[in-house]
Amino acid sequence: MNARHCRWSRSARQFLTALLCVATVGGFSPCSQAVAQRGDPQLLKPPRVAPSLAGAGEWINSGGPLRLRDLRGKVVILDFWTYCCSNCMHILPELKKLERAYPNNVVVIGVHSGKFAAEHNATNIREAVLRHDIEHPVVNDPNHLIWRRYDVRMWPTLCIIDPSGRLIARHEGEIRFPVLDRFLRGRLAGYRKMRLLDETPLRFELERHSAPLTPLRFPGKVLADESSDRLFIADSSHNRIVITKLNGDLIDVVGSGAIGKQDGSFQESSFDHPQGLALFKQSLYVADTENHNIRVVDLATKRVSTVAGTGRQAAVRPRPGSRHLNSPWGLCLHKETIYIAMAGSHQLWKLSTRGGTAKWFSGNGVEDIVDGRLKSTVFGQLGYASYAQPSGLATDGRWLYVADSEGSSIRAVPLRIGGTRYVRTVLGTSALSSNRLFTFGDRDGPVANGLLQHPLGVICVGQRLYVADTYNNKIKVIDLKSSVIRTLAGTFQPGKSDSPPRFDEPAGISYAAGKLYVADTNNHAIRVLDLTARSVSTLAIDGLPSPGPAEPATAFLLPGSQTVMFEPVSVKPVRNRFVVDVQLELPAGHKLNPSAPLQYTIQAGGFVDSDFAGKTQIPETTSTRFTVQVPLQSKTGKSRFELAVKFFYCQQGLEAICRIASVKFAGDVMLSAKAPSTRLQLRHTVR
């Protein structure tokens, strides 16, 4: 989502205004269109000392503020982003690949320079960090202080700092891992030859270490079907679909919970942050957003298949007939056609339930709120409608209503072939000559004056549109006959109470049997708004398990982890267990990070209780000395015994700079009633 927006207008006067506009917001120009660079990041000549990161807002995912001078020896990549932006979302997995490829050499820091008012709140940013599985530090830059220091013009922008602290390159727009990898690989080899690199692993105090497990995790969309008494929930950050009755009784779960794109049975299949849902007979269509696919859940055979998309993100300017999709976000069924809100390419697409490929339906691909003719297959064609990250869809059979999130607008798209083919704005910013994507707020009354803030969901019930006004934490209703909008439930301040009703960034909304079902995303809940009783309740889903933090045993130890061998030893069991004493000696001036608990796991064939072996455990103490009571299923025997420990340790007084380490103790243990000791002593010095 570009920070600079000056779109083509339909009159010469508007076009001239677009060329001349010079308004600025927070240090960037919101009224000229920026085009993402292609190829390698742009080298800066000459390089300059990287400006400070001090003086902004709160730090997230780090345990405290970071200073660039403390990161000398690393390549630092600053990612300027805002969490509403689909283009920023696209770059996150590419950065994650980079972090995994160069864990000892590259540090990514997200600089969150928010667009919307709600995005200046550190709590909301913290939720976004968890929702998008971000594993690097993020600093809140609400006043665009760091943004201005680095002369940033658009989201996303990457600024690259070399190991000596010089700003050497930048890249505007989306970028893929192979490009970043190619750019860094040779340079890192050169830095290594010059002995500029500090290749000590760094790890940070991530929010997920203290995040509670919840049955739902950031549910994005919801679909209520009155005829079958079913509720379908996109449990987005658990990467699965939950099916219940309308009263919350659990029916089924679709997906293993792991991130992936595997087809197959409900248990085998996998998704990547699914969003929109549409039901046609016994087929549930799913917008598998971060896989850039449309999936179908066969509710009769209990199998999942892929019906549109290749798993590869489409280009920003897709060609007609392209089989690639770009962040499909919202779905809506009309007759035998599934309409798709293609958030990443700012378009509407459609897919026949009879098969075939998904096709471009409406929008010229330019990110904006501009009314115009419906059908365009040429990028940027004048006179045709523009959308801005469309995210929610609904229909009354005549019109397709669009929650156009980045423009804080609700659009109406004609569906009848013989009728008008002109897209109009029900409520929003299309009539403005500039700043269409930067005009938002919270104002009820006549729709001509009404304001929303990044709405993600809409549903049509008779002559009313119910809107999930996401960043205002409200549910609103637009009366299409009187052209008035009013708040139905919620307050600007987020919350989770039923009475008075409060929400936290609700994103999905559906209707059945006189009730609205709301995906209350940041509350990890489904809320039910009874339109007759005018009351709100929280749906209870008994028996729904959380997938939990699944970490395979092979991933427990870090690459290059040291193995400490001990001599064969005999120990004496007492009450079906024996004791292991572990001591870790940290470098001087360091301590364990109490916010990221030490973990250990034990493997031993034969005599260790099978319910204990191989499972991650956390000791009750935060000391570098801890004791493990090893439960036994046999009091005699000999076996190879392995105890692996993973821990975070930090400099005293500088907890933001932490390292992660792991060690494996291994040796033969014999259980014997005649052994001289009941304890196994293990010790490791961290260097």
Task: Tally Cβ neighbours within 10 Å of residue 248.
Answer: 16
In angstroms, the Cα distances linking 308 to 282, 328, 357 are 18, 10, 6
pLDDT tens digits, 78-118: 999 999 999 999 999 999 999 989 989 999 999 999 999 99
Higher pLDDT, 336 or 212: 336
Which range has highest mean pLDDT (307-321, 369-383, 590-604)?
Answer: 369-383
Distance CA 100, CA 220 (A): 27
Contacts of 341 (CB under 8 A, 6+ apart): 276, 287, 328, 329, 330, 331, 332, 348, 390, 391, 392, 393, 402, 403
- Provide mean pLDDT across the span 635-646: 84
Under 8 Å between Cβ of 74 and 204 = no
In angstroms, the Cα distances linking 376 to 5, 10, 337, 347, 525 are 20, 15, 19, 10, 39
- Provide mean pLDDT across the span 477-492: 98
- Provide mean pLDDT across the span 495-502: 96
pLDDT of residue 655: 58
pLDDT tens digits, 194-205: 999 998 878 787
pLDDT tens digits, 547-561: 754 443 344 666 667
- Provide mean pLDDT across the span 307-326: 84
pLDDT of residue 654: 61
pTM over 0.85, yes/no: no
Distance CA 369, CA 384 (A): 11
By percentage, how much of the chain surpasses pLDDT 70? Answer: 90
Contacts of 516 (CB under 8 A, 6+ apart): 459, 466, 475, 509, 510, 528, 529, 531
- Which residues of the chain are in CATH 2.60.40 domains? 557-685
pLDDT of residue 358: 94
pLDDT at 350 over 50: yes
pLDDT tens digits, 184-225: 999 999 999 999 999 887 878 788 877 888 999 999 999 999
pLDDT of residue 550: 41
pLDDT tens digits, 244-266: 999 999 999 999 888 899 999 99
Which tokens go with 70?
A: 């403390």
pLDDT at 610 over 80: no
By percentage, how much of the chain surpasses pLDDT 90? Answer: 69
pLDDT tens digits, 613-634: 777 788 877 789 999 999 887 7
In angstroms, the Cα distances linking 529 to 410, 474, 520, 542 are 21, 12, 12, 20
pLDDT tens digits, 575-592: 888 999 999 999 888 888
- Provide mean pLDDT across the span 114-125: 96
pLDDT tens digits, 140-179: 999 999 999 999 999 999 999 999 999 999 999 999 999 9
Provide the b/e sequence for 552-581 (b: ≥16 CB within 10 Å).
eeeebbeeeeeeeebeebebbbeeebbbbe
pLDDT of residue 473: 98
pLDDT at 33 over 60: no
pLDDT tens digits, 649-666: 887 776 567 778 889 998
User: What's the Rg (C-alpha) of the chain?
Assistant: 27
Helix %, strand %, coil % for the chain, to 5?
15, 40, 45
pLDDT of residue 25: 31
Task: Tally Cβ neighbours within 10 Å of residue 308.
Answer: 25
What is the spatial order of strands in the sheet that 264-265 belongs to?
264-265, 303-308, 293-298, 283-288, 277-280
Higher pLDDT, 14 or 150: 150
Mean pLDDT over each residue of the chain, to the nearest integer: 88
Which tokens go with 640?
A: 């190879």
Which fold does the domain 35-208 belong to in CATH? Glutaredoxin (3.40.30)
What is the phi/psi pair of residue 410, to 5°? -115, 125
- Give the angle 676-679-681 at the CA atoms, nearest 5°: 115
Q: How confident is residue 601, by pLDDT bands cut at 50, 70 and 90? A: confident
pLDDT of residue 321: 72
pLDDT at 606 over 90: no
pLDDT at 470 over 60: yes
Q: DSSP for 505-524?
A: SEEEEEEETTEEEEEEGGGT
- Provide mean pLDDT across the span 125-130: 96
Distance between terminal CA atoms of the chain? 45
pLDDT of residue 651: 79
Task: Tally Cβ neighbours within 10 Å of residue 58.
Answer: 17
- Provide mean pLDDT across the span 226-236: 98
pLDDT of residue 622: 75
Name the residue among 138, 161, 157, 150 with its Cα closest to residue 57.
Answer: 138
Q: How confident is residue 605, by pLDDT bands cut at 50, 70 and 90? A: low
pLDDT of residue 594: 74
Least confident of 56-65, 562-571, 651-660: 651-660
DSSP three-state, residue 82: coil
- Which residues of the chain are in CATH 3.40.30.10 domains? 35-208
What CATH architecture does domain 557-685 belong to?
Answer: Sandwich (2.60)
Name the residue among 647, 639, 648, 645 with its Cα closest to residue 668.
Answer: 639
- Provide mean pLDDT across the span 20-42: 43
pLDDT at 11 over 60: no
What is the phi/psi pair of residue 142, to 5°? -65, -30
Q: DSSP for 93-142?
A: HHHHHHHHH-TTTEEEEEEE--SSGGGG-HHHHHHHHHHTT--S-EEE-T
Name the residue among 28, 23, 5 with its Cα closest to residue 152.
Answer: 28
- Provide mean pLDDT across the span 415-426: 84
Higher pLDDT, 89 or 597: 89
pLDDT of residue 14: 33
pLDDT of residue 419: 65
pLDDT at 13 over 60: no
